[in-house]
Structure 1
Amino acid sequence: MSRPRTRIQQKNSETILDAALDVFSAHGFRGATLDQIAEVAGLSKPNLLYYFPSKEAIHLSLLSKLLDTWLDPLRAMDPQGDPLTEIMGYVRRKIEISRDFPRESRLFANEILQGAPHMRAAIEGDLKALVDEKTSVLQAWMDAGKIAPLPPVHLLFSIWAITQHYADFDVQVRAMLGPGHDPYAEAQDFVELLFTRLLALHHA
C-alpha cells in the first residue's frame, strides 16, 4: 500500500504536470523531452523522475485528466431537458473549455493527429459509448419533431470542430480579428446563433 503524498510532493507533481502541458501542447509527444519538462518545471531531471518514471507516464496522466474534461460537457446534456437549451448549453460549455483550457485542447489535437497512440482505447471505449448515447438522444428529439433533422453524429463533429478551432488556432483567430476583440465572447454569440438557426424547425 503506497503512502499518501506530502503537500510538497503533491505540489511538485502538479508543477511537473503543468510544465508538461506547456511542453506537450507546444511540441507534441514526439517533440517533447524530459529535459524540456524539467527545465520548465524548475526541477532537476532526477527529481522529475522521482515523481514520474518516464515521459509516457506524464503524458498518460495528462490525457486521463483531459478525457474527463472533454466528456463532462457532453455528459451534462439532459435527455429530459428542452432540446435547444441542452444543445446550446453544450455549445457554450465547449466554448468555455476552449477559452479556459487551450493547452489541453492542443494536447488532445496533437494526440489525435499522431493516430491517438495513447488514447485509442479511451476513444473507442468511453468516448464512443457516450457519443452513441447522446446521438440517440439527439435522434429522439429529431424524430419527435423538436429540432430539425440532421445526422446527429455529424452535428457533434461540427460543434467540436468549430468550438475547438478557437483554442487550436488561437494565434490565427486573434490575428484575423485584430486588437480590441474578445474571440471567445464573439465565438459564443456566433456559434449559438449558427446552431440555433441550423436546428430550428422550418414549416412550409
Structure 2
Amino acid sequence: MNQELQQTRTKTRIQKRNRELIREAALDVFSQRGFRGATLDQIAELAGLSKPNLLYYFPSKEAIHLDLLSRLLDTWLDPLRDLDPAGDPKAEILGYVRRKLELSRDFPRESRLFANEVLQGAPRLTEVLGSDLKALVDEKSAVLQQWAAEGRIADLPPKHLIFAIWALTQHYADFEVQVRAVLGEGHDPYAEAQDFLDLLFTKLLAP
C-alpha cells in the first residue's frame, strides 16, 4: 500500500513538472511567434518532450494557449482590483501604475502573449474582456469619477486614464527591444520609467 502511494505521488510530481515544462515552453513560443506562428512541435521540442507526451497533458495548441491566458488574466487584473476606494487617490493611482510597471518588468513574455492575442482580435478572450474585465474597469472607473467629483484628483475620463496607464506601462514589455536599443547601454528602462511615470501622473492628477 505504501509502495502504491509512493508511486502515485511520484507520478503526480512528474505530471506537475511536465505541465509546467509545457507551459514555460509554450509561453516562450507563443510570446515570440504568436498563436498562429506557434506549433505543437516547437513547444514539445523546447519542453524536452515528445509530441504524443505533450498531447497527453494538453489535447491541442488551443488548450495550451487558453490555459496560459486564463492563468495570466488573474495576475494581470490583480493590480486594478487592489485599487482601494478608501485610500488616498493619488497614492492609490500611483501605486497602480507602479504595480503595472512591475508586471511588465517581471512578466514580459506574459505581456507579449496578451498583446498578441488582442492584436489578433482576442478570439479566445472576447467573452472575458466583455465581462470580467469590463465589470472591473466599470467598478474602478466609478471610484475615479467619485474622487474627481470630490475635487481630490483632476477631472479626467476615467476609462481613458486606465487605458493610458496600460499603454504607458505595458509598452516597456511589449517593445522592450526597441526601448533598450533607443536608451542604449547603461540604462535601466524600468527604473527610469518609474521615475518618469511618477512625475507624469503626479502632474496629470493634480486637481
TM-score (norm 2): 0.94
Look at both structures and tell me which one has the larger radius of gyration over its CA atoms: 2
Distance between the aligned counterparts of 1:16 and 1:192, measured in 2? 38
Distance between the aligned counterparts of 2:123 and 2:203, measured in 1? 38
In the TM superposition, what are the counterparts of 1:22-171 in structure 2 within 5 Å? 22-171=28-177
CA deviations over 1:29-79 (Å, ceiling 9, x no partner): 011000000011111101100100000000000000111011100000000
User: CA shift at 1:192, angstroms?
Assistant: 1.2
Percent of aligned pairs with the same amino acid: 75
CA deviations over 1:62-99 (Å, ceiling 9, x no partner): 00011101110000000000000000000000000000
CA deviations over 1:144-202 (Å, ceiling 9, x no partner): 0000100000000000001000000000000000001110011111011101100012x
Structure (1/2) with the larger helix percentage: 2
Q: What secondary structure, in the 3-state scheme, does the structure 1 residue paired with 2:152 have? A: coil
Distance between the aligned counterparts of 1:44 and 1:187, measured in 2? 42
TM-score (norm 1): 0.96
Unpaired segments of 5 or more residues in structure 1? none
Distance between the aligned counterparts of 1:196 and 1:47, measured in 2? 52
Unpaired segments of 5 or more residues in structure 2? 1-7
Q: Aligned pair count?
A: 199
Give the CA RMSD over aligned residues. Answer: 1.1
Distance between the aligned counterparts of 1:66 and 1:167, measured in 2? 15
Distance between the aligned counterparts of 1:48 and 1:165, measured in 2? 33
CA deviations over 1:118-141 (Å, ceiling 9, x no partner): 001110010000000000000000
Distance between the aligned counterparts of 2:51 and 2:156, measured in 1? 52
Distance between the aligned counterparts of 1:56 and 1:80, measured in 2? 41
Give the aligned residue type for 2:67: S
